[in-house]
Structure 1
Amino acid sequence: MLTWRELGGYLRQLPPRARTRIAMGDKDGLWGLAEHLQGLTIDELRIANWQRSNEGVKQSKQSKRPTPITRPGTGPKAADKNSPQRIARRNAAKVRAARRRSAIARGEIT
């Protein structure tokens, strides 16, 4: 019979690509060193091609800078910023702030 501490030790020592680690939400093991280096190479080549294609062009007429390839464990920032859950939390915070301001104005909170 295993103790919780022993089980935790076994789980921490699993290889990065083990299905158990991935099922537990560890996204770092999806890409190894070779995949990260290849992603970096692709990003650098895209930037170099972008620079060459915009050489001698006014800054206002240049094309947009290429976005990097998304890595495991990271998602698009704009999508997270405007997700329905985040919008709902933001609206709830605004309602709470308005209630607090009105309670302060009525003198209920000092």
Structure 2
Amino acid sequence: MVFEQRCELPSQCAAIQSIAAKIGCSAQTLHSWVRQHERDTGQRDALIHHSDRGSQYVSIRYTERLAEAGIEPSVGSKGNSHYNALAETINGLYKAELIHRRGPWKSPEAVELATLEWVAWFNHNPLLEPIGYIPPAEAEENYYRSQTGQAA
């Protein structure tokens, strides 16, 4: 599960789509290049892909693709479910609140669009107790603002 691959602002998504069309690549590819540049210049933390030791993790091609995208592979210690807890929690919410509640789905595109809408809603609307009754996007902004303040 990749939480990092998203545009922070609608205008950023529109700009990436516009530029990608002009230079002849996909918006996803350009977005990856922008993120890699941000990581290379210290503007963004490195992206780590966590696996639960499934078969995809031992696939040479899969590992090569992670390397091409500048993603560091990672697995948790065997028998330790804490590493996978966030992904499993989000997956459970996603399936309960969207997939099962609104299915059956007419097409993969319908699922993709609904997923984008759900992620945007989830990042900006629920007030979560563990992070001080604020939305996740606000907590993330506060975190990065505090990191910038410490570096200054």
* TM-score where L is the length of structure 1: 0.28
TM-score (norm 2): 0.22
**More relative contact order in 1 or in 2 (CA 8 Å, sep 6+)?**
1
- Please identify which structure carries the higher strand content: 2
Which protein has the larger Cα radius of gyration, Structure 1 or Structure 2? Answer: 1
